[in-house]
Structure 1
Amino acid sequence: MRGKVNFEEAFELPTLAESSRTQASKFIAPADLDRYMEHIKDPTGARLQEATDRGIGYTIYSHTVPGVQGISDKREAEEHARRGNDWIASEIRDYRERVGAFAALSMHDPAQAAGELERCVKMYGFHGALVNNFQHAGEDGETYLFYDQPDYDVFWTKCVELDVPVYLHPSAPTGRYYEQMYAQRKYLVGPPLSFAKRRLPAPFRPNNKRREHIPFDFWWINHWLQDVERLLAEKNGDFMCKRDIYHYFKRNIWVTTSGHFSTEAVAFRISAGCGWFDGEEESLIEALGGEDRYMMVGRENAKRLFGLGKYPDCDA
Structure 2
Amino acid sequence: MKNKIVLEEHLTTSLNNSLWDSSGESARNGAGYMADVDFRLLDTSRRLDEMDEAGIAVSILSLTSPGAQSIIDKNTAVDFAVKTNNEIYEVFTSKHPERLQAFATVALQSPKEAANELERAVKEFGFKGALVNGYTNIGDENTAQYLDEEPIWEFWDRVAQLNVPVYLHPREPLASQRRIYEGYSSLIGSAWGFAHETATHAIRLMLSGLFDQYPNLTVILGHLGEGLPFMLPRLEHRLNMQHEGTGLGKAKKKVSDYFNNNFYITTSGHFHTKGLLNTISEIGVDRVMFSADYPYESMKTASKWFDKTLISRNDRIKIGRTNAANLFNL
Q: Is TM (by shorter chain) over 0.5?
A: yes
Aligned partners of 1:17 and 1:40 also within 8 Å: no
Matching residue of 1:219: 233
Matching residue of 2:289: none
Q: Greater CA deviation, 144-153 or 11-20?
A: 11-20
Task: Please tell me whether residue 73 in structure 1 is matched to residue 77 in structure 2.
Answer: no
Matching residue of 2:157: 157
Matching residue of 1:104: 105
Structure 2 distance, partners of 1:304, 1:261, is: 23
Aligned-residue CA RMSD (Å): 2.2
AA of the residue aligned to 1:129 = A
Structure 2 distance, partners of 1:108, 1:16, is: 17
Matching residue of 1:255: 265
Aligned partners of 1:4 and 1:58 also within 8 Å: yes
- Listed as ranges, the gaps of 5+ residues in structure 2 are 276-291
Matching residue of 1:189: 188
Matching residue of 1:55: 55
1:176 positional shift: 3.1
Structure 1 distance, partners of 2:266, 2:27, is: 22
What pairs with 1:190-209 in structure 2 (closer than 5 Å)? Answer: 190-199=189-198, 200-202=200-202, 203-204=205-206, 205-206=210-211, 207=215, 208-209=217-218
1:247 positional shift: 1.6
1:195 positional shift: 1.0
Aligned partners of 2:28 and 2:185 also within 8 Å: no
1:275 positional shift: 1.8
What pairs with 1:1-316 in structure 2 (closer than 5 Å)? Answer: 1-17=1-17, 19-25=20-26, 28-42=29-43, 44-91=44-91, 92-138=93-139, 140-173=140-173, 175-178=175-178, 180-199=179-198, 200-202=200-202, 203-204=205-206, 205-206=210-211, 207=215, 208-212=217-221, 213=225, 214-228=228-242, 230-233=243-246, 240-264=250-274, 268-278=297-307, 280-281=308-309, 283=310, 285=311, 290-308=312-330
Matching residue of 1:313: none
Bigger Rg over Cα: 1
1:249 positional shift: 1.4
The alpha-carbon distance between structure 1 residues 15 and 295, as it changes in their structure 2 partners (threshold 3 A), is: same
User: SS of 1:95's equivalent?
Assistant: coil
Q: TM-score, normalised by structure 2?
A: 0.82
1:225 positional shift: 2.1
- Listed as ranges, the gaps of 5+ residues in structure 1 are 309-316
The alpha-carbon distance between structure 1 residues 81 and 26, as it changes in their structure 2 partners (threshold 3 A), is: farther
The alpha-carbon distance between structure 1 residues 64 and 27, as it changes in their structure 2 partners (threshold 3 A), is: farther
1:196 positional shift: 1.5
User: SS of 1:126's equivalent?
Assistant: coil
1:191 positional shift: 2.8
Percent of paired sites with the same residue: 32
The alpha-carbon distance between structure 1 residues 15 and 240, as it changes in their structure 2 partners (threshold 3 A), is: closer
Query: 1:215-245: CA deviations, max 9, x gaps?
Result: 21121111122231x3225xx9x85311111
AA of the residue aligned to 2:116 = G
User: SS of 2:245's equivalent?
Assistant: helix
The alpha-carbon distance between structure 1 residues 3 and 128, as it changes in their structure 2 partners (threshold 3 A), is: same
